[in-house]
Structure 1
Amino acid sequence: MIRGTWSLTEPLIPVNMPATMVRLGVENGLQQSDLLHNTQLNGEMLTDPATRLSYQQLLTLVNNLIKLYPGQTLGLDLGNALNINQYGMLGYAILSCADIRSALQLGVKYHSLIDPAFTFEIIEQDDTTAIRLTAHIPFEPIYRMLCDVFVANFASLGRFLIGQPDMQPIEVHLNHPKPDYADQYQQYFQCPVLFDQPRTELIVDSSLLDLPLIMADQATANMAESQCAEILSRLGPKEGIAAKVRRILLQNPGHFPPVDVVASHLATSTRTLSRSLQELGTSYQRILDEIRKEMAIEYLRNSSLPIEEVAALVGYSDPSNFRKAFRRWTGRAPSYYRKELS
């Protein structure tokens, strides 16, 4: 394992959110013992603030919840159930920020205190801003659930922080196919919800970023952020290895370095890098494919470039190989996204 990264077996995840998952399941008629099956957790541990879960334990818990949960809206329900208290000291710091922009910036800086397997970023444009998720979890059902949790939770927390329960994003984009329960999203968002998108993100009016938080207190925010910094330095990992690989690959989009060059950037060997990614259930090739997929969908949706040029821009000299790869990534032909755009 590369120093400074996280693995499936390290106890990194605070108990707050897993406890909320169990509570949501029980409120929907499930047995706590069934939800905790094979997790090595018990009810007492869920109430102990010192408890930290490994990713192996969390994935087992999430799999149990997905398998047993009545209905298909688990991610949306969980995102709506998570409140600011579940974010621990980071939540306390966010609650005290001056405005939405500073709260988001604080979240970007310290999100790994909550979950080092995802990152998010804020892309400000003129009139709109994208709050964008990148998840480094290679398990498809869990990834889909996390996308739903992300959009539902960020929207509900935004409403709570500014005291405007009717506030809605402009659009919600989801990086997965349209599910059977697509109409349920309208119960959470009174705005267009688009599927099969390059990325999972909330599109909001940029003016929202300057709205003051109803519990803003600069002295409290400074104190809480100092505590977050101290906790982060004590815990160690600040960026997962999958996020580091992704960042290197995106430095020069379309000209992706081979795995040995990426390893050299990380001051390690190809073998050690491959082993570290394997422990997370992913690989260099899988991360590269995800980036290529995102870029290809972006080009197909938002440009009139021929398929041959799109293929070249994501690193394929042979368009037929690109078409095969694209169908493997998305289950659809490139023309599907081009037709939808038209």
Structure 2
Amino acid sequence: MSLVHETIALAHARGLDVTPIVEAAGIALDAQARVSAAQYGALWAGIARALDDEFFGQDSHAMKSGSFVAMTHAALGARTGRQALQRAVHFMRLVLDDMAGEIDIDATRVRVALHHRAGKPTPTMFAYATWFILVYGLLSWLVGRRIPVIGARFRCAAPAAAQDYHLMICDDLAFAQDDSWFDLAPAFLDLPVIQTASSARTFLRNAPGNFVVKYRNPGSFAARVRRVLRPLPAHAWPDADALAQSLNVAPATLRRRLHQEGHSCQSIKDELRRDLAVAALQDTQRSVADVAAAVGFAEPSAFHRAFRKWTGLRPTEYRQMRERAAAKVR
């Protein structure tokens, strides 16, 4: 909800009545629950169209509606991930005046540094995140896999909902730094661009809801594993061998394919536990111990440690933060 409120605040600053857009996206502003990526994507797209600015007025030059479509088609002509990144970063440099990306590559990482124009205020974290979402989401789709984000640093002060940006970008993220950049694992550079004009139609129809948090390939092995796990109670989740059997592949094949996608069976289970825990904590009638048990922790203390690692907050602190946010809305 913190990201919803930031997006709406930008729209209000431009004099836009967001009520019909919020309602069309199916978002209840007085709710404490997290919104889905699809709901937030619908809000994002609706406000961008209404403002005729896909950067929400965060730059001196509006990113006119249709810019992301044009960037997608420009990058489709690239042969590799390296060329696709270069085209996307160059396109953003053309359409924005105040923020520009610069690529630096070495053997261990691909760094995209974000510079802002002299004499302009330091961008907010939401502005940095908007740039990141557009470029990273497109790039991941073009090569057909989620590209691991190794780390990120930003010049802006830490936002109130810093944990949401950790979820959106990566765990190794810091604010109030001398420079702004994010580092990608370099394996994608030589991957072929696998998308076509035909697949772009579906991609653009669902954008940015299909990548606004992190790009997920619905046909990937990681997505298939999630579809097996999600309907089951956490205590009944199968081990890696049983998962492989349910997917009709050898255990070694499953491990290899997940590794290629930047996952393991355990990392997928941990991500799913996190999502389920965050959703369950919205129900203030449920005790933290009950939530811990529901997501597969035998000991509440282990759940506390895991939740703090996921979000930077204790479960009770997370609840209090959401209650304060809801009170502000009311």
- Normalising by structure 1, we get a TM-score of 0.43
Compare relative contact order (CA 8 Å, sep 6+) and give the higher one, 1 or 2. 1
- Normalising by structure 2, we get a TM-score of 0.45
